[in-house]
Amino acid sequence: MSVLARPLPDGSGAPTVTALAGAGKTSSSISLAAGLARKNKKVLLIDIDSQANSSKVLLEDYLSIPSQEIIFTTIIDERPLPVRESQVPNLYVVPSHILLSETDIRPNSANDHREARLKRALDKIRDEYDYIFVDCPPSLSWLSLNAFTAADKVLIVVAPGYFDGDEHPLQ
Ligand SMILES: Nc1ncnc2c1ncn2[C@@H]1O[C@H](COP(=O)(O)OP(=O)(O)OP(=O)(O)O)[C@@H](O)[C@H]1O
Ligand SMILES: [Mg+2]
């Protein structure tokens, strides 16, 4: 599942979704984000998938990013979003990491409104960007709910296969 958020001129945001694994969420997020950046828009891509595919593509130093500088620190520890410059001019990335796969099982005492952690962190910086995308994992979880809560538009990426639609009716 992937979500993309886009701040509109009136200050509201916007995003993207699909529950289909391998449908092209990450490819779409990277392409849209990089394309807009090349058109001189300031773009932020937030990777909340523990596979970290967006992060690996866009950040040359991905392997050396300290564990306290990934999206995990915002979702679990409620710290500010760790924004990094990507190798594409005007495109910034909040990286993910395999550590993020722990977020659904890690004990956490503050369970109230934990679906709004990304939104709370994003609200502090969203005015700095023309577009914000959130690339989601291929499963429904409270990470995905964080993306939906932060976003005001959802883009559904669907592979045009008969069984894809049959197994995952979009309602
Ligand atoms: N438009 C396209 N045409 C052909 N192949 C594509 C297209 N978009 C993506 N792919 C390929 O499909 C595969 C899955 O793409 P991608 O990783 O973007 O999907 P995803 O929905 O993010 O997957 P996941 O659910 O694992 O996060 C990749 O190998 C990618 O190169
Ligand atoms: Mg993906």
Residue 42 burial (CB count, 10 A): 15
Tally of helices (H runs) and strands (E runs) in the chain:
6, 4
How far apart CA 3 and CA 14 sit, in angstroms, is 9
**Cα 165 from chain centroid (whole Å):** 24
Residue segments in the chain with a per-residue pLDDT below the cut of 50: 1-18, 171
Q: Residue 55 C-alpha to ligand 2 middle, in angstroms? A: 10
pLDDT of residue 69: 93
From 1, 26, 101, give the residue whose CB has the most ligand 1 atoms within 8 Å, as the site to mutate.
Answer: 26
Structural domains of the chain sorted by starting position, each given as residue range(s) with its CATH number in brackets: 25-167 (3.40.50.300)
Contact present, 142 and 113 (Cβ < 8 Å): no
Global pTM reads 0.86
Ligand nearest to the CA of 25: 1
- Name the residue at shortest CA distance from atom 8 of ligand 1: 24
pLDDT of residue 108: 55
Q: Residue 121 C-alpha to ligand 1 middle, in angstroms? A: 28
Ligand nearest to the CA of 23: 1
